[in-house]
Amino acid sequence: VQLVESGGGLVQAGGSLTLSCTISGFPFDDLAMGWFRQAPGKEREGISAINTSDGRRDYAASVKERFTIRSDTAKKTVYLQMNNLKPEDTAVYYCGATITLSVMYFIHSGGEGMDWWGKGTLVTVSS
């Protein structure tokens, strides 16, 4: 099973980026998939997750109203649309997927319980 992320980069504050995470080697059914991020010197933070079957979503308070997560079953891909980016959003963003945790526990898990991880993609927001 592989998770492949893309879409990171450098953007000015107030700008937008869309991250994508594609899973291969496993059915896109009833997974909780989403995103964590880790900035230098900080702990890993769960920021958003979605159930790939019923579409339930969850967001961290720090990104709610600015980030939107969605999934595309045909492409087996989860997207994170990030708007109004702030310098404090600068981090490496990691995609995770789990068949054991529900969406409601995903972002609070600290990453424990993920079955698969992507390698990460760097998002840098300049002020």
Residue range 15-64, pLDDT digits in tens: 999 999 999 999 999 999 999 999 999 999 999 999 999 999 999 999 99
Q: Structure tokens of 48?
A: 């958003």
Q: How far is CA 60 from CA 23, 25, 109, in A?
A: 23, 29, 12
- Report the pLDDT value the prediction gives residue 26, as an integer from 0 to 100: 95
Q: Nearest CA to 120 among 52, 21, 23? A: 21
- Report the pLDDT value the prediction gives residue 12, as an integer from 0 to 100: 98
- Report the pLDDT value the prediction gives residue 39, as an integer from 0 to 100: 96
Q: How far is CA 109 from CA 56, 85, 126, in A?
A: 17, 24, 29
Q: What is the mean pLDDT of residues 97-108?
A: 94
Stated as kind and residue range, the H or E segment containing 103 is helix 103-106
- Report the pLDDT value the prediction gives residue 14, as an integer from 0 to 100: 98
